[in-house]
A and B are shown apart, each in its own frame.
Chain A
Amino acid sequence: MLAWRGVRGLVLLGVCGVAACAEPLVDGTFTQDEWDFAQSFRLDRLATPECQFCASADAGQQLFFDPRLSGEIIADGEGALGALGESGKVACASCHDPQHWFVDRRSMTSGISLGTGWTKRNTISPVNSAYLVTFTWDGAASRLEDVLDIPVTSPAALHSSRAIVADVIRTHYGGLVTAFGPTTGSDDELYQRAARALAAYQTQLRTGPAPLDRYLAGDYTAIPDEAKRGLQVFIGRGLCSECHNGPLLTDQCFYNTGVPQRGLHAPATDLGRFGVSGNARDVGAFRTPMLRQVAETGPYMHTGELATLADVIDFYRWGGSPSGFSGTKDQRLLPLEIDDDDASALDAFLHTLTGEPIAAALTTRPSLP
């Protein structure tokens, strides 16, 4: 009797055992949920940015390399581009170095950049910025053609003015009628044309698909296994995708992540987004940086304090700095539940975000009029 009951029990176990199935994993790594979410990182999910002023892109490239837009140098030191008081020495390309993915390696030892003076913050690469809707660390510009205002009016960047820019256009770019339209007009009109030309040039600074994009499109050999695990940590317990999400791996929002104001020339305080919004909640908050080509765009953080991605991962792994920053750190900045292997995997993943380099024609200094 007992034996018969046992047989019946085993049959029942067998039938039910089939139903308790294992979870299917994409590429042996990702749950379907994780994989579906990761698809939102694909660059091809973005529409090609509209190039409203593309006819003036070549002129914009010239302006990008043109040091005549700058005013007097007010700070010297290692890496200075001229003597104190000299003008016409600093171009956009001086800090946005086209040979290094448009970031500043010249002032690297200080973390922040040396234009006509020491800027407050680390230089951001304009590559792929055409996809963005907010610009600069504090979001002071919401259109690409508005970005020029920031270095022009900053004594530490170009130390220039709308009038100086307009005068350069009027004096040197008079022959580029098709690019700018008529080079006559008020200073403001000419300045706007220059800003649009620069925006047109920057719109062309876009990379193609990165290894991550090919991987997410189905080429499972496009990235190494460690990077796959890194992606899993990135969207899982690393909590990175809380802010770094979407095709550009930024939500373009502003957070206080507890980055201290450290560095030889970094200001003691930086109110960040508060300077734009006036909202007390934004004190010390900065825009989530894009992670496309991030492996090539160090140093990192708005102070340029961290030299490598491993440093950045370590910074967030311990929940950011406990002090030394303005405002209140975001409550989510807690020590992460990741280990050394996870950190290493994250580093590997972040190296899969670099697409094809910008075409040489766009990174070469053109002859200036």
Chain B
Amino acid sequence: MTLHRLVIVAVMATSGVAHAWPEPAPQPVPEPVPEPAPEPPAPAPDPVGPIPTPAELAARIDELEQQAGNAEVVEQNVETLSETVDKLVPLRRFLTIYIDVGWFHVGGNGAGVRSDVGHRNIRDYDDIPADWVLVGDPLSTAINSRGEPADIGAARAIATDTVNSDGNPSFIVNALGLAIGRTVGRGISIAGLVELLPRPGPDLLDVGLAHIDYRPSRQVDLVLSAGKIDSVLGVEYRAQDAPRRLTVTPSLLCRYTCGRPFGVQGRLTRGRLLASLSVTNGDNFNERFEIDEQTGYHLVPTAAAHLQWILPVGQGLEVGVSAAAGPQDGQSASHVHQWHYGFDLRLRDLRGVDVYAEFVQGKQQGSSAGAAHAADAMRVPSPVAHCGIAQCLTYKAAYVLASKRVTWWLTPYARVDWRDARHQRGIDFLYVTRALRATAGVHAEMTSRIIAKVEYTANVELGTPQFPNNVLTTSVVVSTD
């Protein structure tokens, strides 16, 4: 046993504590048997032998006691190290690392929007310069699970062109992710997600999740969370990060439901019913659109809820409804509001087929200044820009995603997306989106830790001239768990 511990110490010393715990665990090493030394010709046996003197006995006893003391110290050291090692073992579950790399090619200049040159397509917004009136969808050319477009082109609502491909094919490291999760006792656990994003220009760091979870009872499946939490709207947010996402890219509506706001939430499961409620500083939008700070602007927070029933179809047909409401983000007035509702459906494993479908609709009311405000009330044209104090946004969007596992490792999928939205901020910009997308892809699980995906998306602009912005993108995700 002592020697076993010594072996452990040796392994620790060579691998270093920062490394993952070696596996499998070292096998017990049998006690070594000392080689018998060559012996000189033995004298005639003396049945009694020389009798030690009292002084020799005393010296021998002292030596043995000294050795016993040393052994005890070593044993104590080994025990301490062993405890340390035992404490490090759960790190394997505590920290998951993944790397998502890919290659993409997007048609045109890589952007999903174009200026309405000469106001030829959007005629009822002449007070906004044509270069700032945009048709298409700025995220229709997303190339990774984060929804980053290959290029933002003329887009004005997205602050940073993180990929900036300008229509050129490119390799990319989509993310180096660190997922953290640990139970700390008394029903409390913590979770976090940090993604490092190597990008042109300054690299980026995104803290996606950072929350404390509490399970108050073993009898009731209730989880209370606080911090930077997941959305509760719809179903897509549940598997939005690269290692868990079936597709390479998010749907067009994920921007409204996949955000991770600051707040508190509760999730309750009772039989076939799952209920979630969150109270947050603001909306559940993807942060890419939030130039506003995530800290609260209002006395009144935004509330969001989701109810889901599981019906006995296949491995379960989940039918859900969600809604959110509160003061609009990015402005201080509590009466300027935002609302959102949606329906979702998920069919699990009906003869190998999975189906996801969602529909959402929402509005950010926006706010106008002076004459424009009065004109808004009277519903007459105004020379002063609308939505100049707070941006106006109306949206409807939906998608259907179907997949079929054809072998244990290969899952082809297809998705159809649709989004109809108007987004205006004063004369700074107006987006008019009527977009339809068709996506086909393959998800291959090479091993439980290696996933490869290939996806092609055809973008169609409805009611405006087409421009090349189809997307071919790939992703290889390797994770430690």
The answer to whether A241 touches B118 (Cβ under 8 A) is yes
Q: Does B228 contact A (CB under 8 A)?
A: no
Q: Does B109 contact A (CB under 8 A)?
A: yes
Q: Considering the complex, which residues of chain A in the window 31-56 have a beta carbon less than 8 Å from any beta carbon of chain B?
A: 31-34, 36-37, 40
The answer to whether B120 touches A13 (Cβ under 8 A) is no
- B100-119 interface code vs A (CB 8 A; 1 in, 0 out): 00000111110000110110
The answer to whether B470 touches A242 (Cβ under 8 A) is no
| Chain A residue at minimum C-beta to C-beta distance from B453 | A9
The answer to whether B131 touches A13 (Cβ under 8 A) is no
Using Cβ atoms and an 8 Å threshold, which residues of chain B touch A40?
A: 118
- B394-428 interface code vs A (CB 8 A; 1 in, 0 out): 00000000000000000000000000000000110
A19, A20, A21, A332, most chain B CB atoms within 10 A: A20
Q: Does A367 contact B (CB under 8 A)?
A: no
The answer to whether A281 touches B383 (Cβ under 8 A) is yes
The answer to whether A9 touches B465 (Cβ under 8 A) is no
Chain B: minimal CB distance from A25 (Å): 10
The answer to whether A37 touches B118 (Cβ under 8 A) is yes
Using Cβ atoms and an 8 Å threshold, which residues of chain B touch A31?
A: 114, 117, 467
A-B contacts at CB below 8 angstroms, number: 87
CB < 8 Å neighbour of B129 from A5, A33, A239: A239
Q: Does B446 contact A (CB under 8 A)?
A: yes
The answer to whether B130 touches A16 (Cβ under 8 A) is no
Chain A: minimal CB distance from B110 (Å): 10
Q: Does A7 contact B (CB under 8 A)?
A: no
| Chain B residue at minimum C-beta to C-beta distance from A235 | B117
Q: How far is the CA of A97 from the CA of B471 in the complex (A)?
A: 59
Using Cβ atoms and an 8 Å threshold, which residues of chain A touch B304?
A: none
| Chain A residue at minimum C-beta to C-beta distance from B456 | A16
Using Cβ atoms and an 8 Å threshold, which residues of chain A touch B465?
A: 32-33
CB < 8 Å neighbour of B105 from A17, A34, A37, A237: A17
Q: Does B284 contact A (CB under 8 A)?
A: no
Q: Does A361 contact B (CB under 8 A)?
A: no
| Chain A residue at minimum C-beta to C-beta distance from B109 | A23
User: Contacts A21-B468, A23-B109, A332-B427; is A5 near B444 (CB within 8 Å)?
Assistant: yes
Q: Does B442 contact A (CB under 8 A)?
A: yes
Q: How far is the CA of A236 from the CA of B130 in the complex (A)?
A: 8
Q: Does A331 contact B (CB under 8 A)?
A: yes
The answer to whether B454 touches A12 (Cβ under 8 A) is yes
Q: Does B452 contact A (CB under 8 A)?
A: yes
User: Contacts A235-B118, A241-B118, A242-B130; is A13 near B454 (CB within 8 Å)?
Assistant: yes
User: Contacts A13-B472, A17-B105, A241-B130; is A23 near B118 (CB within 8 Å)?
Assistant: no
The answer to whether B131 touches A237 (Cβ under 8 A) is yes
Chain B: minimal CB distance from A278 (Å): 16
Q: How far is the CA of A2 from the CA of B447 in the complex (A)?
A: 10
Q: Does B8 contact A (CB under 8 A)?
A: no
Q: Does B384 contact A (CB under 8 A)?
A: yes
Q: Does A22 contact B (CB under 8 A)?
A: yes
Chain B: minimal CB distance from A162 (Å): 37
Using Cβ atoms and an 8 Å threshold, which residues of chain A touch B474?
A: 9, 13
User: Contacts A235-B118, A332-B427; is A23 near B167 (CB within 8 Å)?
Assistant: yes
User: Contacts A21-B468, A23-B467; is A33 near B108 (CB within 8 Å)?
Assistant: no
CB < 8 Å neighbour of A33 from B114, B426, B444, B456: B114
The answer to whether B471 touches A20 (Cβ under 8 A) is yes
Q: Does A261 contact B (CB under 8 A)?
A: no
The answer to whether A19 touches B456 (Cβ under 8 A) is yes
| Chain A residue at minimum C-beta to C-beta distance from B465 | A33
Chain B: minimal CB distance from A5 (Å): 6
Q: Does B385 contact A (CB under 8 A)?
A: yes
| Chain A residue at minimum C-beta to C-beta distance from B372 | A331
| Chain B residue at minimum C-beta to C-beta distance from A245 | B118
The answer to whether A9 touches B114 (Cβ under 8 A) is no
Give chain A's interface residues, CB within 8 Å of chain B: 2, 5, 9, 12-13, 16-17, 19-23, 31-34, 36-37, 40, 235-237, 239, 241-242, 245, 281, 331-332
Give chain B's interface residues, CB within 8 Å of chain A: 105-109, 114-115, 117-118, 120, 127, 129-131, 167, 169, 383-385, 426-427, 442, 444, 446, 452, 454, 456, 458, 465, 467-468, 470-472, 474
A-B contact pairs, 18 of them (CB 8 A): A5-B446, A9-B454, A12-B454, A16-B456, A19-B472, A20-B105, A20-B456, A20-B471, A22-B108, A23-B467, A23-B468, A37-B120, A235-B117, A237-B131, A239-B131, A241-B130, A242-B129, A332-B129
The 5 A-B residue pairs with the shortest CB-CB distance, nearest first, are: A37-B118, A23-B108, A16-B472, A16-B456, A20-B105
Q: List 11 extra interface pairs beyond A17-B472, A23-B108, A33-B120, CB under 8 A.
A: A5-B444, A9-B444, A12-B454, A16-B456, A19-B458, A19-B470, A19-B472, A21-B107, A21-B470, A33-B115, A241-B130
